[in-house]
Amino acid sequence: MIKYILIFIFATGLFANVIKSPILSVEHSSDTATIKIDNINVGMSGFISHKLSNENSIILKEITVVAYNKQTKIATLKMDNFNVLRHNSLPSGKWKVETGDTAILAFAYSRALLIAPNEEVYYRVTKSTSSLQWLHPDIFATILSFNSHPTPLKKDFIAMSNTTSVGLVFFFIDGNLYTTDAKSFKILNITDAPVIQDSTKLPFYSRIEEIETTWYEFGAGTGKMSNYENYYFKLLIENNPNNQKLQNLYNKYKSK
């Protein structure tokens, strides 16, 4: 067990530092930009900062790394509207992303949420590293209750990230730990974590006994989860369709 905890600590350290890099080029027609950087993971998210003066700057766009060329060290960023701090009473500027603006990635990667099947697994994983500030799953369960979603959807995780400034979501599934970006939902790392799992709490471990829904709520997320592993495997596969290691682990799980 110590071996796998050390691997986990090392893996979390890979994402601990905020990455800053100047914008190399911008293509507004396709909402993409590029940066040059020695190493980066596809799926990392962040934002672009535009300097207004020596003392002031403004966030213009959310970004996600969608491609990285190891030979040229060029990363392609997909830009989207930044709505985290949106306020209808405040005016919006007409600034556009320009060459020389700053891409800031992995900004909230020091804060994380762990989705675990039971209390034992939760505490074994979260106590194995001090490099992360863990958001207690009770808070996420409260967000799900507010949305009447006994089964969490991707948009629930994004809402949680926006509300709590959590950058990473970890999923413990069938003896493996999946590190994902909280907004893009892309897998950044997969680590062996063969902790013994002798019980399962649905939809995940929290001290809230039941996430309720109202009788008039219908649609995705309103039904109760029936299988922990199968649901989270499929949620990750839906957002990482080209991740062969994930698919192989899912096939291995189904063959049991």
Model confidence pLDDT, tens digit, residues 194-236: 888 889 999 999 999 888 776 455 567 668 889 999 999 999 9
Mean pLDDT of the chain: 87
- What percent of the chain is predicted at pLDDT more than 70? 86
pLDDT digits (tens, 9 = 90+) for 128-161: 777 789 999 999 999 999 888 899 999 999 999 9
State the average pLDDT over residues 234-251. 97
How far apart CA 66 and CA 196 sit, in angstroms, is 36
Q: Find the mean pLDDT for residues 49-60.
A: 87
From the number of C-beta atoms within 10 Å of its C-beta (0-12, 13-18, 19+), residue 165 rates as middle
> d(Cα 16, Cα 54) in Å, to the nearest integer?
27
pLDDT score recorded for residue 160? 95
Question: End-to-end CA distance of the chain, in Å?
Answer: 23
Structural domains present in the chain: 2-13+110-254 (no CATH), 19-105 (2.40.10)
Q: Which amino acid is at 160?
A: M
